[in-house]
Chains A and B, each alone.
Chain A
Amino acid sequence: MHGKALPYLLLTPATLFLCVFFLYPFALVAFEAFTRDGGFTLDNFRTMTSSWKFPVTVRNTLLLSAVVVPIQLVMALLMATMVSRLAAGRSAALYIFAIPLGISDLAAGLIWLAIFDQSGFLNTLLSNLGVIDRPVMFLGYQSKLTIFIAVALAEIWRATAIMMVILVAGMGLIPREYYEAAEVFGASPWKRFIKITLPLLRPSLQTAIILRVILAFEVFAVVAALGGTNLPVLMGETYNWQFTLQDRNVAAAMALFILAISIGFTLFFLRVLRVPKEARI
């Protein structure tokens, strides 16, 4: 066996696997999105966009991402900075911060449902404290804002750690000498963060943000658990088309739409947070 062929040979099973179980179904979905009754058509997209729920789902999904991701980014940066500075117990802190990562998003939604539910922790606590005399419907159809806040909280709680883990790894790659040089040349801790950490962390920031934004566009189970149909989002609507309305062609069109905005934002962040080759560490 020649050394040159070996790497390709070893990669073949994984490549084949991806082709069969990812590319092929993906092609099928794309095909379904653009066909109806055997002929090429854009009708599925027209049906999708003409539904009254479509603009609402787009708005809710984007709004949720726009609120959740920046808060997560700031928190992840804070947590990563603190963890990176720990002399001892660093991995223990990492593990504890990462616990919510091990929980499925539906379970996470259910945990927060147990808090905000009519007979949940929050109501029990408030009534025991005498703040309220009867349970409040936090998640009722009239309180869209509280549903939104609850979903945002659950998402932040659940998925901040993934960004933190990426940022901690990135911070570990920045040589200490740069910080020492900045310190000697007059940079306060805040300036060092702004002038050294953030710019040198750009590749990791890019990865973390892209990953998080894509995941935010795919938010589903947490919303389903906390908001039901009161806070329609893109993924929930896709599910709705597929299973409730039994129209797989429009569902496929929705899936392609989510893919398109994900790709769009990925390209945007790749471009904005690009590090020129000559300016890398």
Chain B
Amino acid sequence: MAEIAIKQVAKRFGGFTALHSIDLTIADQEFMVLLGASGCGKTTLLRIVAGLETPSQGEVWIGGRRVDHLPPRERGIAMVFQNYAVFPHLTVFENIAFGLRMKKLPQQEVEGRVNRTAELMHIEQLLKRYSGQLSGGQRQRVAVARALAMEPDVILMDEPLSNLDALLRLEMRAELKGVLAASKTTTIYVTHDQVEAMSLADRIAVMHQGHIVQAASPVEVYRNPAARFVGSFIGNPPMNFILATKAADGSWTVAGLTLPGPKSDKQTIEFAIRPEDVDTGTEGLHATVRVVEPLGPHTLVTCDVEGGLFRAILESNATVAVGDHLRLLPKPDRIRWFDPETTNAL
């Protein structure tokens, strides 16, 4: 059992605040992804959980034990580093065995565990090689095997796939998901790649400027962004935002279309819709087509709506041409509203 609790953790580097009082609880065996652009504090948070960085304030608990004053080796964690950190002077076997040897496990146990994890990661034929004789993907497998061999309560991963080429990344992503689910560890996984986050996570914590903006399941984060930032960061292309003006109480005018919305005493709020959640028809938002990109499964259309850009994903058999005037009707249950000042969802 290893639940991770991060309580009011903050980190300041001189005058710069990298993390503002973070609270996050990760359930036993949960796969938690920290997602955000570079500089948002996600790696700092992971390193604080690992013990490679000391928090300026707050507490870190792993498995019911307070660990923020303990060195990394006493926290029951294993880690996969962005550049793999596969020791160049040791063979693959000794790399995987490194942590086990530090624990002074008997040789037989070490061999058993190294062989098992090597097999799991499909690197059993590489055990005698050195890091310098491996490809990036193979090094990545060694780094994961080294972490798994520890049979840790918690595995921490710092952008483990970001140095692989696209095809390999896809392959490793699926494999990691299977292997980690089978290992029954609690995982914290840092990435800036939203597709990776969506596909791997039980829960995604979206981070922005040292805050966790939203921590929820991938579908929830995608469908119900808690803040404008989440909607604009997740999804490719991201959500469309249009300013809406009050028509009546609980009714708003958006690009010539009047829609029912939240009650608010503000005069303008922001209307938001995902590109795939609009239909073409005889009524809807007035849009002028600027660019048409047929992408195979669907067609991406970039339009002008009220002087701003608006992206819509239409069926691939839709016949649209540049300069066409369209009416785009948002699906009512997919419309989201944001407060333009706090940027939070309404």
> Which residues of A come within 8 Å of B, CB atoms?
175, 177-178, 180-188, 191, 195-196, 199-200, 202, 275-281
| A187-B102 contact given A276-B130, A278-B132, A279-B132, CB 8 Å threshold | yes
Give the distance to chain B from A172, nearest Cβ to Cβ, in Å.
Answer: 16
Report chain B residues within 8 Å CB of A200: 88-89
On whether the beta carbons of B89 and A184 are closer than 8 Å, the reply is no
On whether the beta carbons of B87 and A186 are closer than 8 Å, the reply is no
Chain B, Cβ-Cβ closest to A177: B85
On whether the beta carbons of A175 and B133 are closer than 8 Å, the reply is no
Inter-chain CA distance A186–B88, complex, in Å, is: 18
Chain A, Cβ-Cβ closest to B97: A185
On whether the beta carbons of B99 and A280 are closer than 8 Å, the reply is no
Stretch of B72-80, B295-303, B322-330 lying at the A interface = B72-80
Asked if B212 CB lies within 8 Å of chain A CBs, one says no
Question: Which of A181, A186, A187, A279 contacts B81, CB < 8 Å?
Answer: A181
| A279-B83 contact given A183-B73, A184-B77, A185-B78, CB 8 Å threshold | no
| A184-B52 contact given A177-B83, A196-B87, A279-B130, CB 8 Å threshold | yes
On whether the beta carbons of A280 and B102 are closer than 8 Å, the reply is no
Report chain A residues within 8 Å CB of B103: 186
Report chain B residues within 8 Å CB of A175: 83, 85
> Which residues of B come within 8 Å of A, CB atoms?
50-52, 71-73, 77-79, 81, 83, 85, 87-90, 98-99, 102-103, 129-133, 146, 150
Question: Which of A178, A275, A278, A279 contacts B85, CB < 8 Å?
Answer: A178
Task: List 12 A-B pairs, Cβ < 8 Å.
Answer: A177-B81, A180-B81, A182-B87, A183-B71, A183-B72, A184-B77, A185-B73, A186-B73, A188-B73, A278-B130, A278-B133, A279-B90
Inter-chain CA distance A183–B98, complex, in Å, is: 11
Inter-chain CA distance A275–B87, complex, in Å, is: 14
| A278-B73 contact given A178-B87, A185-B150, A187-B102, CB 8 Å threshold | no
Report chain B residues within 8 Å CB of A178: 85, 87
Nearest 6 pairs of A and B residues by beta carbon: A186-B102, A185-B99, A181-B85, A177-B85, A278-B130, A199-B89
On whether the beta carbons of B129 and A185 are closer than 8 Å, the reply is no
On whether the beta carbons of B52 and A183 are closer than 8 Å, the reply is yes
| A184-B88 contact given A191-B102, A279-B132, A280-B132, CB 8 Å threshold | no
On whether the beta carbons of A185 and B52 are closer than 8 Å, the reply is no
Inter-chain CA distance A122–B88, complex, in Å, is: 50
Give the distance to chain B from A46, nearest Cβ to Cβ, in Å.
Answer: 48
Chain A, Cβ-Cβ closest to B74: A186
Report chain A residues within 8 Å CB of B72: 180, 183-184
On whether the beta carbons of B89 and A279 are closer than 8 Å, the reply is yes
Q: A181-B81, A195-B98, A275-B89 are in contact. List 12 more A-B contacts (CB 8 A).
A: A175-B85, A180-B52, A180-B85, A181-B79, A183-B51, A184-B73, A184-B77, A185-B146, A186-B99, A187-B73, A277-B132, A279-B131
Chain B, Cβ-Cβ closest to A200: B89
Inter-chain CA distance A276–B71, complex, in Å, is: 33
On whether the beta carbons of A185 and B71 are closer than 8 Å, the reply is no
| A185-B98 contact given A175-B83, A199-B89, CB 8 Å threshold | yes
Report chain B residues within 8 Å CB of A202: 89
Inter-chain CA distance A277–B130, complex, in Å, is: 10
Report chain B residues within 8 Å CB of A182: 87, 98
Report chain A residues within 8 Å CB of B146: 185
Most buried by A among B81, B88, B133: B88
On whether the beta carbons of B87 and A181 are closer than 8 Å, the reply is yes
